[in-house]
Amino acid sequence: MSLVFRYVKSDKPAVPVTLRQRGEIKTTALIDSGGDISLLPPFLATKVLGSVYLRKPPNQTLRGISGMSKGVQCDIDICITDGKESYTVKNVPFFIPREPRDFVIIGREVFFDFFDITFKHRLGEIILTPVSTECQKIGGQVSRVD
């Protein structure tokens, strides 16, 4: 079954998610088919990662369309639901820049391995279809099939 979401503010392909690691937050995340890695704004990092985030030095550099940014990388679980179906993708790599950002971005790395994602821009919809040949739903979690 596919998860269907309406665009946020009628022009942004974003979906409601729950991010989990040491803590948990519910937020809206932009689905970015052009981005390799996912981004977590610093103001949300402490809520998801706890004080561990504050102790980490910015030891990584991300190069993107908007330039270079220093920060840290952590693996975070993403739970996505439409109210009927729920899926959790574990250990998605997130880059946390030291500079302020406005919203969560989900890039292709790991997350896109588990879903076929269709953008229907004219209709203002994004459709996430679990890839049945590569993953399965087990107790609300999406896991690779070996």
103 CB-side CA count, 13 A? 16
Mean pLDDT along residues 26-33: 94
CA distances to 51, 71, 130, 133 from 35, rounded to whole Å, are 27, 17, 20, 24
The strand pairing partners of 64, in sequence order, are 67
Top mean pLDDT of 56-60, 96-100, 104-108, 129-133 is at 104-108
Largest CA distance in the chain: 44
Say if residues 87 and 81 touch (Cβ distance below 8 Å). Answer: yes
Write out pLDDT tens, residues 47-75.
Answer: 888 766 666 666 666 656 666 677 888 89
| Strand residue runs (E) in 21-66 | 24-31, 38-39, 60-64
CA-CA distance, 121 to 105, in Å (whole number)? 18
CA-CA distance, 141 to 122, in Å (whole number)? 31
